[in-house]
Amino acid sequence: MKNKFEASSRLHLALNTTHFEESTEFYEALFNVEPSKIKPGYAKFEVNSPPLNLTLNLAKEVTGNRINHLGVEVKAEGDVNQQNQRLEKLGLETLSENSTVCCYAVQDKVWVKDPDGNAWETFFVFEDSEERDGSGQSTVCCAPTLGSEPSC
């Protein structure tokens, strides 16, 4: 039975950014949708899939970011590769991980970072794992540094 709240709700994420124009372009590319509202220092994206109300707010500085990473879980295995190809065609730097163990699951994923350094993953889960990561060493979920190997 579908939860009435779930069916009529979407996630709202408000991000501060010091790179407003670049962030607006990044999120247009990431979610493949133009802003539904754009004002000086403010952009709103209404994303249908996944259901998301995302706003960007210009800030003089952004400090104290406690986010490990952000992500979108897809339900079809090939969607990760399609997202990677689409983002690369748009000129974004991506990092692909195939059949990687991370956060107690075997996953395919592709990573990008927004202009403020927030890591976004698009991922597909194949199966659960008893290990947190492939090395058994990490104490945090995987959040890579683009241009190098993941942190776990």
Domain residues of the chain, as ranges? 4-58, 70-128
Please give the radius of gyration of the chain, using alpha carbons only, rounded to the nearest integer. Answer: 16
pTM of the predicted structure, to 2 decimals: 0.74
| Equal fold, 4-58 vs 70-128 | yes
Could you state, in chain order, the average pLDDT of each consecutive group of 10 residues for the chain (152 residues)?
55 89 96 94 92 89 73 89 95 93 88 89 89 60 53 40
The architecture of the domain spanning 4-58 is Roll (3.10)
Fold of the domain built from segment(s) 70-128: 2,3-Dihydroxybiphenyl 1,2-Dioxygenase; domain 1 (3.10.180)
Q: How many residues does the chain have?
A: 152
